[in-house]
Amino acid sequence: MDMKGRIKFHSIYYRYPLFIILLVIAGAKFISNGKDISMTYFGDVLTIGQDQLTYITIGLTLAIVVIFSIVGYKIYISQEGIYLRKIDLMVDWSEVEGLSHVWINEFRSRTGNANFYNRKTLVIYRKDYKPICVYNISLLSLFVAKLYSPKIKTNIVFASLATMVNVGLNGWVFYQLFFAGLESMNLGILFAWMGLFFLKALILPVIMTSLENRIHGDNLFHDTAYKKNRSDVIHL
């Protein structure tokens, strides 16, 4: 927050590759089952203890979070409204009919590779204009907007519940892999993870966009393998 009451929000896309990196580290720690991890590096054997691996993980996570929380920003929210840096536009609060925070699925397909990602999206509904989708923005932006404009309509309750499910599931996975140990894993846990990740990746995003479309019109749509950015909005 700066001296003019502007609260800046940066892209949170970095959380996606960070999640993958942490998942790989957690998987290695889980498979090693409390033993030191050894790997060959240019002919030399490198051994990493469990405590060292934990410190490396914490340090790497903090470094990435700090760096990407400082470099650049996508929007700022102030008493005047919401400023969109990419298109140099200030959306005044008087122009905003509503705000929502939804997950819009992105599907990227390249030669031999496919990438699927839940884009955490701030949707700005404006009077007489197309909505604006600002991708990869934290849910905290909705709380800040509500602070500056208390009467504005939002989906803050449902968005908060969805985020709690997301954080809780990821926390459970990392706890199981980092701390619980190999002997605690069973098929029941694996099937529970599969079901919850299916809910998180596919069901919740569809419910979120469907509810918003009922209120504000059919604007929000998820990517398919054949078409990107299907939503009838301004994409940022």
Q: Which residue carries 């299907």 as its tokens? A: 230
Q: Is residue 73 part of a domain?
A: no
Q: Is residue 118 part of a domain?
A: yes
Using CA atoms, how far apart are residues 229 and 43, in angstroms rounded to an integer?
Answer: 47
Q: Which domain holds residue 203?
A: 94-235
Q: Return the sign of the alpha-carbon dihedral for residues 187, 190, 194, 199.
A: positive
- Quote the CA–CA distance of 217 and 125 in Å, as a whole number: 10
Counting beta carbons within 10 angstroms of the beta carbon of residue 132, is it exposed (0 to 12), middle (13 to 18) or buried (19 or more)? buried
pLDDT in tens, 18-39: 888 887 877 777 776 666 666 6
* Assigned domain for 163 exists: yes
Model pLDDT for residues 200-233, shown as the tens digit of each residue: 888 888 888 888 889 888 888 887 767 777 778 8
Q: Evaluate whether residue 112 is within a structural domain.
A: yes
Query: For residue 36, what is the DSSP state?
Result: P
In a domain, 1, yes or no: no
- Residue 46: pLDDT band (50, 70, 90) is low
- The mean of the pLDDT values for the chain is 81
Helix (H) or strand (E) holding 9: strand 7-9
Element at 170 (helix H, strand E): helix 156-175
Lowest-confidence range among 75-84, 86-95, 102-111, 117-126?
102-111
Confidence tier at 109 by pLDDT (50, 70, 90): low
**pLDDT tens for residues 122-167?**
999 988 888 899 999 999 999 999 999 888 899 999 999 988 988 8
Residue 77 lies in a domain: no
Is 154 inside a domain boundary? yes
DSSP structure class, residue 112: T
DSSP 217: -
What is the number of structural domains in the chain?
Answer: 1
pLDDT value at residue 183: 65
Q: Tell me, yes or no, whether 132 lies in a domain.
A: yes
Rounded-to-integer distance, Cα 232 and Cα 166, Å: 27
